[in-house]
Structure 1
Amino acid sequence: MTSVVSAAVFAGLLGMAGEAAAEATVTVLDFNDLDGWAEDDHQAAFDAFRATCPDMDDLDWQSLCGYATTDPDPRMFFELLFRPVLIEDGAPGLFTGYFEPELNGSRQRTDRFRYPLYAMPREARKTDLWYSRRQIINGRLLEGRGLEIAWVDDPVELFFLQIQGSGRVHLPGGDKLRVGYAGANGHSYRSIGKELVRRGIYAAHQVSAEVIKNWVRRNPVAGRELLFHNPSYVFFREVSEVPAHKGPLGAMNRSVTPMRSIAVDPDFVPLGAPVWVEKDGAQPLRRLMIAQDTGSAIKGAQRADVFFGTGDVAGRAAGKLKDPGRMVVLLPIQRAFAMAPDGTP
């Protein structure tokens, strides 16, 4: 049951405001086509789904969310009301990982804590494209404007905090400050890992977040220049009201769940939708996850970032993940059937 859907029609079928980046091939599957479906913990996926389901606006999603509040059997809920839809845009499936980093910092600048986390300046909100990372840092465009949320002690960790989009800052005395994504300067993300491979410094299979960090620290001058290769610059906001036991806020402004939340490209996957993940590689994963976040590097129908949790252990695991596979979106049953060639099951 496969069809090719134009960008405009595709966007309409998914109930999106925007249009998909390109024509997509859509295949409506059966739950028997999902490898490992019966063995998953459907209750864990159901709990994550309910965290953001009330924020979905379309009527069919609202109806599903209303039924979810009656505490149905989780597996029955998904199998009865959804159909698996494989959406492909010609690019191979790719899974990476992200996490919530923890940094050391202070609310006041000191000799140790001198690298600032900035709130978004007003003028950057009024344009699609603001100054680049190099221009912001070298030009000291934000200094002395009262936009500093905190200062940290490591510019490399700050760079990776911007990539992750949220994190926790350990303050002197034991307090913690939590920050979340507030916006960016509009420049496209460029991978410094790919740049190291292009320069012949590492082979692709050698690159991880820890490898990159260590190289930048060993080569401070060249390392600083390498960070400028990524012109994207992220601004933050304080979100310390989020309870410590909950994950950071995702794109739906709700906490994401370790190993149940993924970041996706919303041009292809509706935010809040369940997504069946079949990740291959050294540690295969078969799991129902929820599309609750986005990322500047997450582009394409078969591209996802798995949220691993908070701290160094989660960070090391997330930084190593770069595996192939496929992802299958679970859509409300009538919406899925509308994508079939003849509009029928």
Structure 2
Amino acid sequence: MMRFLRPARALRPALSAMILGVLAACATGPSTPPAPVESHPGATPSAPARPGAAIVRERSRWTPAQWSDLPGWESDATTELWPALLRGCERPAFDWARVCVDARAAGPMTDASARAWLRQRLDPWRVETAEGATEGMITGYFEPLIEASRKPRGPYRVPLYGPPADLASRNPYWTRQQLDTVPAAKAGLAGRELAYVADPLDALILQIQGSGRLMVQEPNGTQRLVRAAFAGHNNHPYKSVGRWLIDQGELRADQASWPGIKSWAQRNPQRLNDLLWSNPRTVFFREEALADPSVGPRGAQGVPLTPGRSIAVDPQSIPYGTPVWLDTTEPLSNQPLQRLVMAQDTGSAIVGAVRADFFWGWGTTAEQQAGRMKQPLRVWVLWPKS
């Protein structure tokens, strides 16, 4: 895992992958001979040296594609991408400076003119594994919105902590169970309480996601919306609570969604600590002001995420700041989800060529979608013309 000053999502695996402990995307071998390959060492791709050549990255290869290859391309509400694209241009990917200058200068557009603008400046590339597999997996994540209290009161008794003063003195630091039960470990947390939530699983989901929104009731009775942002962890590996329930014979794999885990906890309150302590990792937070509730948390690219238009990727497959065409389905309706998004984040479970994590936003609907999303995926990237 990364150091404390890295963005939160660089440390947070996908929600459904974290719950189930299933990290591998499904893949099939190529049905046609691979295209010629033009290898480019280093982390930044550039145009191939000859037409028809593929671009090779550390964990993927990109093969030339046609705009007609992108399923649903003509039906996308492409103007919805623009805020995410402009945010990505605050820290542009390699070779993107010219395109970003044009994007900032572009006037009002329709969906059709936005697509035409992109076609004039970018080329589509299909993303596949080194072996030529084109199908992978997409999961979802969200920013939790949780009620909290500045002081312990009523049901609000579960603390969220800032980093302990002695965090650097032990490597690894105390486990989750030790922090709950060992006096010396508990002493390091004294005075580090940021706020209190009512449900231990709410605290856990904040830690899984790496950040969240808190509607905090202050001692004077006023409420304030703030962000609990990632500030460090105890350097123990994450252990999936969903996988623990499956191994215990408590849930089947198809039941170990986040709603299923919460339902199990409600039925088995006497075993809640066993569930929580099965995961030794604890995450610590810092509080940030949330002046504009419409702005998402910062992803690994260092720019705010846009609901429905930002994804997390493996940066060794797709660089941050790259537009990505998704061909997948929604988790609840199984309706097509085909749209242009920006690669602006990552997570430790997001590994491989055709692998993504879809940012749903915040609130109840986002939680429901993210907690159930594990869909087949195909992707294409758009890259500046040479």
TM norm. shorter chain > 0.5: yes
| Residue of structure 1 in register with 2:356 after alignment | 304
Q: Tell me, in whole angstroms, the C-alpha distance in 2 between the residues paired with 1:106 and 1:48.
A: 33
1:20-39 aligned at under 5 Å gives the runs: 23-39=59-75
Partner of 1:2: 35
In structure 2, the CA distance between the partners of 1:114 and 1:22, relative to structure 1 (3 Å rule), is same
Q: Is 1:120 aligned to residue 139 of structure 2?
A: no
Q: 1:231 aligns with which of 269, 280, 291?
A: 280
Q: Say which of 50, 59, 71 aligns to 2:106.
A: 71
**Aligned counterparts, 1:255-266, within 5 A:** 255-266=304-315
Residue 284 in 1 paired to residue 319 in 2? no
Per-residue CA deviation, residues 3-42 of structure 1 (Å, 9 max, x unaligned), is 5687x82624379xxxx99653332222211111111111
Q: Give the alignment's Cα RMSD to 1 decimal.
A: 3.0
2:197 corresponds to 1:152 = yes
Q: Is 1:51 paired with 2:91?
A: no
- Is the CA contact (8 Å cut-off) linking 1:247 and 1:309 kept in structure 2? yes
Q: Could you tell me whether the CA contact under 8 Å between 2:59 and 2:353 is conserved in 1?
A: no
- Do the aligned partners of residues 144 and 182 (structure 1) sit closer, same or farther apart at CA in structure 2, a change above 3 Å counting? closer
Answer whether contact 1:10 1:24 (CA < 8 A) is retained. no
Q: 1:290 to 1:24 in 2, by over 3 A?
A: closer
Q: From 286, 299, 307, give the equivalent of 1:250.
A: 299
* Equivalent pair of 2:59/2:352 in contact (CA under 8 Å): no
**Which 5+ residue runs of structure 1 have no aligned equivalent?**
335-345
Select between 116-125 and 151-160 the one with higher mean Cα deviation.
116-125
Structure 1 residue identity aligned to 2:152: R
1:227 to 1:70, Cα distance in 2 relative to 1, 3 A: same
5+ residue gaps, structure 2: 1-33, 48-55, 108-112
- Give the counterpart of 1:102 among 142, 145, 153: 145
Q: Deviations over 1:153-191 (max 9, x none)?
A: 111111011112221112223322222223334444333
Q: Judging changes above 3 Å, is the alpha-carbon distance between structure 1 residues 106 and 23 closer, same or farther for their aligned structure 2 residues? A: closer
Tell me which residue corresponds to 1:206. 255
Paired letter, 2:275: L
What is the CA–CA distance in structure 2 between the aligned matches of 1:77 and 1:125, rounded to whole Å?
A: 50
1:162 equivalent to 2:207? Answer yes
**Displacement, 1:144?**
4.2
**Cα gap change, 1:31/1:10 in structure 2, threshold over 3 Å: closer, same or farther?**
farther
- Asked if 2 retains the 8 angstrom alpha-carbon contact of 1:251 and 1:292, the reply is yes
Q: How does 1:179-190 map to 2 (within 5 A)?
A: 179-190=228-239
CA 1:123–1:279 in 2, change beyond 3 Å: closer, same or farther? farther
Q: Which residue pairs with 1:218 in the alignment?
A: 267
Give the Cα separation in 2 of the matches to 1:292 and 1:326. 18
Contact 1:94/1:322 (<8 A) preserved: yes
Superposed displacement of residue 69, structure 1: 0.9
Do the aligned partners of residues 246 and 52 (structure 1) sit closer, same or farther apart at CA in structure 2, a change above 3 Å counting?
same
Q: Identity, % of aligned pairs?
A: 38
- 1:323 deviates by 0.8
CA contact (8 A) 1:98 1:164 kept: yes
Specify whether residues 12 and 214 from structure 1 end up closer, same or farther in structure 2 by C-alpha distance, changes over 3 A only: same
CA deviation after TM superposition for structure 1 residue 71, in Å: 0.8
Which of structure 1's runs of 4+ aligned residues deviate more than 6 A?
125-128
How far did residue 196 of structure 1 move? 2.9
Q: Paired residues, what number?
A: 328
**Residue equivalent to 2:223:** 174
* 1:69 alignment partner, SS class: helix
